[in-house]
Amino acid sequence: MTSGTGRATTSGTLITLAPTGAESAKADVPALPVTVDEVVATARDCEALGAAVVHLHVRDLDTRPTLDLVRVREVVAAVRESTDLVVQLSSGGAVTDPLPDRVAVLDAEPDAASLSLGTVNFGRDVFSNPWDLIVELHTQMRERGIVPEYEAFDLGHLATLSRLLDRHGPPHGGHVHVDLVMGVPGGMPGTTAALAACLPAIEPGWTFAATGVGRTSLPVMLAALSAGGHLRVGMEDTLTYAPDEPVRDNAQLVARAAGLARIAQRPALTTTEARELLGISAPQEASR
Ligand code: KMH
Ligand code: ZN
């Protein structure tokens, strides 16, 4: 099915859980899942509530963000063992991560990986995504059978996606899915107007999701649903559920997203439906 503008729409909503991120410290946010057991527990809870994809940033034994492949593989295996979620590793990492290490996470053989489409100010930092890195990640994912979730932090990043696909071909699986990451200080604002401005740049056949950082979570979610988009939620992006009310856990955010998706009459996609949409093959039997 396509919308009036040609964008692919589905009868359900793909909910991606981003449970941890690389920015918050466990000491500041005790509910943040950082151990393998905590990540697995939140993944299971959120799958039961409607999440179909998990976007993973891995932490080390000291709870700091890490791209250490032994640890990354351990987390990927543990989530696969306990859930049917599509396992999407972050190739964005933390703003301090060396670019080659961000490419190397693909060695952990996730189902999918994020692929950020341009350099953007990130608060006081810079999240660096030069063109050569974008091409390298896209090409390596194609060769290794990993499905990208493109991430756009600004309108121009969608033009970069069109240029990337024109020059380097479609992603593995053939389907293009892009996440609008809105409300990052330095990127596009998390507003209905900004989301609407992105829509003409989303090409026919692509699907999109949106996530609103911080207090933009709810307006972005409502705007995305109204435009036929999908949702990403989780404690990577949102730590406050309502004014003066800290998020209890990731399940609270997924439950809210799934509830709004139901109200929009586009209920949460199952993991099987998500795999079909994204062009990802079924999980390997051995794992469960
Ligand atoms: N942690 C941010 C600097 C991604 O996961 O691909 C980048 C990020 C994007 O979260
Ligand atoms: Zn991320």
pLDDT in tens, 154-168: 999 999 999 999 999
Token pair for residue 160? 């970069």
For residue 113, the 8-state DSSP code is E
Q: Which residues are bridge partners to 181 per DSSP? A: 211
Q: Is 146 helix (H, G, I), strand (E, B) or coil?
A: coil
**Which residue has the least CA distance to atom 6 on ligand 1?**
92
Where do the domains of the chain lie? Answer: 15-278
Neighbours of 81 (CB within 10 A): 11
Alpha helices (runs of H) in the chain, residue ranges in sequence order: 36-49, 69-82, 99-104, 131-144, 155-168, 192-198, 217-226, 250-263, 271-278
Ligand 1 closest atom vs CA 236: 10
Token pair for residue 105? 């996470």
259 C-alpha to ligand 1 centroid (Å): 26
Q: Verify whether ligand 1 is closer than 6 Å to residue 149 (CB atom).
A: no
Q: Average pLDDT of 264-272?
A: 98
Q: On the CB side of 178, how many CA atoms lie within 13 Å of its CA?
A: 30
Q: Verify whether ligand 1 is closer than 6 Å to residue 12 (CB atom).
A: no
Q: What is the pLDDT of residues 171-227, one digit of tens each?
A: 999 999 999 999 999 999 999 999 999 999 999 999 999 999 999 999 999 999 999
pLDDT band at 286 (very low <50, low <70, confident <90, very high): very low
Token pair for residue 182? 């809105």
Q: What is the pLDDT of residues 1-25, one digit of tens each?
A: 555 555 666 789 999 999 999 999 9
Ligand 1 closest atom vs CA 57: 5
**Which residue has the least CA distance to atom 7 on ligand 1?**
92
CA 85 to chain centre: 13
4 C-alpha to ligand 2 centroid (Å): 31
**Which residue has the least CA distance to atom 1 on ligand 1?**
94
**Which residue has the least CA distance to atom 4 on ligand 1?**
92
The reported pTM is 0.96
Q: How far apart are CA 221 and CA 29, in angstroms?
A: 23
Q: What angle do CA 215, 27, 30 make, to 5 degrees?
A: 65
Q: How far apart are CA 125 and CA 107, in angstroms?
A: 27
CATH architecture of the domain covering 15-278: Alpha-Beta Barrel (3.20)
Q: Verify whether ligand 1 is closer than 6 Å to residue 114 (CB atom).
A: yes
Q: How far apart are CA 185 and CA 61, in angstroms?
A: 29
